[in-house]
Amino acid sequence: MRRVAVTGIGAVSAAGLTASETWSAVRDARSGIGPLDCVRSEYITTRIAAQALDFDADLHLGAKRAALLDRVSQLAVVAAREAVAQSGLSSDGPALRSAAAIVGVGVGGLVTLDNAFYRMYGERNRRAHPLTIPKLMCNAAASHVSMDLGTHGITYVIASACASGTHAIGAAAQLVRSGAVTVALTGGAEACVTPGTLLGWEALRVLARDTCRPFSSDRSGLVLGEGAGMLVLEDWEHAVARGAPILGEVLGFGASADAGDLTSPDVNGAAAAMRLALDDAGLAADRVGYINAHGTGTLLNDQVESAAIQAVFGSGTLPPVSSSKGVLGHALGAAGALEAVVTIMALKEQVVPPTANCDNPDHTLGIDMIPGDARAVQFDTALSNSFAFGGLNAVIALGCA
């Protein structure tokens, strides 16, 4: 089995238009959650979201090409470009040409879908845009990444709701580890801030009114976000041979299914995924120096995840835990990928980021949720957790370069 190096990262988020900007915001607890900027907002009561408002697809892709892509694909392509540029892979070299592209997407081209339905039901227009299907289909994000960067390897989308990005990274790492591919572009993307999507989330009664406060005693729900996080994974020896910048390593991957409730998480399922990731990495629990939590800020999710962490690590070896969603919002299929980028940067800089907006830490949860400021620590391994609706759990173990 080959070692899996991370040689490039890219991100577009509500907190920044690059990986470094996104990381800086999470490290400094500068929230990207703000007033909602959304067409037809009169249909919904939600007034906040975590949106990449400064993202200009025309600037990156040109107006003509940008019009052919749903926002989810635009975000994925731009983040992938950044990751590949950092990796130093040659655009016309064999490694990139044969690379895989595995992208996690929770729900696909929702901007296109929402506009199509409004055109039909709201405006009574019986003609759809001719590119409606190619723009909204779930696999479009992976296809556009492949076309934009010229990769010809295995390419597909993984859709597992909020665990999509982490599942995609795990699947891509397995391809590299097995020797099936030398390079894989992977991560997640989502552009879900639309009236129809927000209306559906409002019906679930899990959206916060003012902001997201993970692990805080006054937490009141999640805040929808958008963005993309992309990684270049590479055979370690190949990366070393070409002098690539190795940012970190994917050590292991674990996934499980609760086989229980569609929306309520289960302690045993979450704990199983963490244990599987540790086993796959060959790590003892006391080696883990940080956990980037799923940490949605809902009452139930934070309770269940905290209990699962305690079940795996015990009170004596419990590592610090923080959530990035107080800064980035919950970007569904992109969440795990953005959080993987954050975790890699935390390992690289030896800084554990805080949980933003955790002004009243809920000590009944029994974890060190890092309220306040970032914490300088020495650690060489970390976990990044994603637990999705449908009881689908995915965890990756990451290590220092």
* Shared domain check, 289 and 159: no
Select from 199, 230, 14 the least CA-distant residue to 105: 230
Q: With pLDDT > 70 as the criterion, what percentage of the chain qualifies?
A: 100
In terms of domains, do 234 and 280 share one? no
User: CB within 8 A of 189, min separation 6: which ones?
Assistant: 72, 73, 75, 76, 79, 103, 104, 105, 141, 227, 228, 229, 230, 333, 334, 337
Spatial CA neighbour of 388 closest among 281, 322, 288, 305: 305
Which structural domain range is residue 339 located in?
Answer: 252-400
For 313-327, how does the pLDDT look when each residue is reduced to its tens digit (9 = 90+)?
A: 997 779 999 999 999
pLDDT at 315: 77
Question: So what's the pLDDT on residue 366?
Answer: 96
Strands 100-105 and 183-190: parallel
**What Rg, from alpha-carbon coordinates, does the chain have?**
20
Closest Cα partner for 224 from 305, 131, 124, 107? 107
Q: Helices marked H in 1-69 — which ranges?
A: 19-27, 57-61, 63-66
pLDDT at 316: 79
Find the mean pLDDT for residues 331-342: 98
User: What is the pLDDT averaged over residues 219-246?
Assistant: 98
* Encoded amino acid at 348, one letter: K
What is the tally of structural domains in the chain? 2
Q: Each residue of 233-290: pLDDT tens digit?
A: 999 999 999 999 999 999 999 999 999 999 999 999 999 999 999 999 999 999 999 9
Task: Supply the residues annotated as catalytic.
Answer: 162, 294, 330
- My answer on whether 310 and 211 are in the same domain is no
pLDDT tens for each residue of 116-161 = 999 999 999 999 999 999 999 999 999 999 999 999 999 999 999 9
* Same-domain check for residues 280 and 184: no
What is the rounded CA–CA span in Å between residue 252 and residue 382? Answer: 10
Judge whether 360 lies within some domain: yes
Same domain, 167 and 31: yes
Q: Is the pTM of this model over 0.95?
A: yes
pLDDT of residue 3: 98
Q: Is residue 223 part of a domain?
A: yes
Do residue 184 and residue 318 come from a single domain?
no
**CB distance 210 to 33 below 8 Å:** no
The CA-atom distances, in angstroms, between 259 and each of 66, 264, 389, 392 are 40, 11, 11, 9
Residue 247 domain flag = no
Q: Residue 58 sits in a domain of what CATH number?
A: 3.40.47.10
Helix (H, G, I), strand (E, B) or coil at 104: strand
173 lies in the same domain as 266: no
Contact (CB, 8 A) for 329 and 278 = no
